Amino acid sequence: MSADIYLWFKALHIIAVISWMAGLLYLPRLFVYHTRSETGSPQSETFKIMEERLLKVIMRPAMIASWALGIILLVIIGQPDWSYELWVYGKLLLVVALTGAHIKLAGHAKMFAQDRNSKSEKYFRVINEVPTVIMIGIVILVTVKPF
């Protein structure tokens, strides 16, 4: 495949990752505010709509695109000697962890949608940092390639 096509796939992958990360960072913040609203209130119902749309319209498609484009970059286009570079496996492990965080957040959105949230505002403030820490690890592995 030509270098131009590779660069287009890489650019699309970066765009998808940025979109996914934006959702992963914003959704827990919505949960923080949602915990402050009274169950059944107009404000709570608005948060439910916002959370659902964020997940279905932005986060889920961006996650799928991130995975698909990442696989294309690794397998179809191929990275020279990527199978021998340990940083790739570290990145993949962290991307799996990021996917786990996405799934966990989707579960919280489902609980809010059913008016069954039992977590505190403080809990959501703490888990809001998890995607950030994982993202920092991924960026360091991809940029520095420490091993």
pTM attached to this predicted model:
0.92
Q: Which amino acid is at 129?
A: E
Instruction: List, for residues 82-96, the tens digit of each pLDDT value.
Output: 566 888 889 999 999
Neighbours of 62 (CB within 10 A): 21
Residue 62 CA to residue 20 CA, distance in Å, equals: 5
CA 12 to chain centre: 15
Give the domain ranges of the chain: 3-144
Instruction: List, for residues 17-30, the tens digit of each pLDDT value.
Output: 999 999 999 999 99
| Higher per-residue pLDDT: 3 or 11 | 11
Residue 80 CA to residue 82 CA, distance in Å, equals: 5
